[in-house]
Amino acid sequence: MPPSPTTIERSHRTLVEEVARSVRDHAGRGTTPHITKAGQHHVVPLPGDSRFRGPAIDTSGLCNLVAIDPDERTFTAEPGLSFNDLVNATLEYGLIPKVVPELKGITVGGAVAGSSLESMSYRYGGLHDSCRGYEVVTGTGEVLRLSHDHRQDLFDLIHGSYGTLGIITEVTGELVPATRTVRLDYHRHDHLASFTEELLAVSAADREGPPEFVDAIVHSPTNLVLVLGTFVDDPPPPAERWLTPFYRRSATGHSELLRTEDYLFRYDADCHWLARTVPPLEWSPVRRLVGRRLLGADNLIAAFGRTAKLMSIGKRRSDLVCDIFVPQRNFEAFFEWHRTNIDHWPLWVVPYRTPEPYPWMATAHGEAMSDDLYIDCAIYGAPNNDRDRDLSALLEEAVFDLDGIKTLIGRNHYTEERFWQIYNRDTHLAAKAELDPNGL
């Protein structure tokens, strides 16, 4: 028998108070701890980083689903709950979160702190845009409830802060109706112009009805595939074994049915295309024999973390892993820059809509970015070995010149001046002074 809501809530309050007490202890001693959490780390610092050798604040127990309200269409979850577990629970009610990150092991708290997006983002933005409230432990050990109605100034700064303002201990977010089956239609284009035209048309703000999901995989400058997903009432097909990597089977124009959970986590088996770093992992016989043990984003990230030193032999720099966002008006310009300077494929493309620039952005840069729609371009695994050209630094500069922004999950090269041209210094420092005055 599952635990009752009262039991879960009581356990939650106990765990949160333990976290708050630990924060107060470290603040009193002047130590700088790291956070031990549930789930695999997807951002820096990575395991093995020296910052993981110091004292820890343990939040790994905060990994439960607190409540689902099918009438209000909301969920309340602790930060360490994986989206795999959340989706399995909400689908029982015919619901899913408005934004479901593409890897099973991504956690609810991580998705907020890192501003996760996915193929419903053309309607709903990031996960944080459909969140109604957060519970946060501050750097002084105070437990705060933040929402649109209570301290919205702080609520709006938690997402994308990567844990620098406080420890998220609970998230309440919105759900939408879902069926058990998704039909995927792959629309292949030979030219950037026709691809862009259809991408923007299906992502239009005034468009109603299907498709529910819009993203794209660009296999090359002459093979651009728009992937449209629609909820259907067909019986769900058998569970997907992913004997062929999803990105490879998307290379031609066709249609297919997937179970909803298989669609939502379609990139998990190969962690997008990380598995191709070890070519046999893409061979069907190998996947049939050892796929359950070796494939899956958490398995792959952990394995590559353990072998990072070995795999870095002969590399000047780590491979380029980064998401960038540009206004739709500059998408084709960025695409051509990428083709000329990086030329790494596949490129994952996701349209993203937000009602207005986020308050953590510098005013001038937010005004420059302002558009009806943004295009996320995800570059995963581009070699960066040229002696005289650091692609990461070049990308950072090019995105800024195109009125865009890049995520901070990888290597960053900003001068302090350039950083505060992008991010709102006054807003951040004011929140930092209130939430984490000691820089814990």
Q: Report the topology of domain 320-426.
A: Alpha-Beta Plaits (3.30.70)
Is pLDDT at 322 greater than 90 in this prediction? Answer: yes
**Which sequence spans correspond to the domains of the chain?**
5-177, 320-426
**181-190 pLDDT, tens digit each:** 999 999 999 9
- The pair of structure tokens assigned to 300 is 């792959």
178: amino acid identity, one letter = A
For the segment 150-160, the average pLDDT, to the nearest whole number, is: 96
Are the CB atoms for 212 and 230 separated by under 8 Å?
yes
Class of domain 5-177: alpha beta
> E strands of 62-130, at which residues?
65-69, 74-77, 95-97
**Alpha helices, DSSP H, located in 270-387:** 284-294, 297-306, 308-311, 331-341, 363-369
DSSP per-residue letters across 113-147: HTT---TTHHHH-SGGGGEEEEEEE-TTS-EEEEE
Instruction: Answer whether residue 44 shows pLDDT above 50.
Output: no
Is pLDDT of 415 > 90?
Answer: yes
Helical axes 331-341 vs 192-202, angle rounded to 10°: 140
Choice between 299 and 41, residue whose per-residue pLDDT is larger: 299
- Band (124; pLDDT cuts 50, 70, 90): very high
Is 5 a residue whose pLDDT tops 90? no
Q: For the chain, how big is the Rg over CA atoms in Å?
A: 21
Residue 424 backbone phi and psi in degrees, to 5: -80, 105
- What confidence tier does 155 reach under pLDDT thresholds 50, 70, 90? very high
For residues 79 and 81, give the distance between their C-alpha atoms in angstroms, rounded to a whole number.
Answer: 6
Closest to 19 measured CA to CA, from 57, 76, 67, 74: 57
Q: What whole-number distance in Å separates Cα of residue 408 and Cα of residue 423?
A: 12
Q: Tell me the pLDDT band of 207, cut-offs 50, 70 and 90.
A: confident
Q: pLDDT, tens digit, for every residue of 268-293?
A: 999 988 889 889 999 999 999 888 78
Q: Residue 39 pLDDT > 80, yes or no?
A: no
To 10 degrees, the CA torsion angle through 381, 376, 348, 350?
160
**Fold agreement between 5-177 and 320-426:** no
Task: Determine the distance from the C-alpha atom of residue 139 to the mean position of all C-alpha atoms in its chain, rounded to a whole number.
Answer: 25
**pLDDT score recorded for residue 433:** 96
Average pLDDT, the chain: 92
Closest CA to 96 of 87, 105, 85: 87
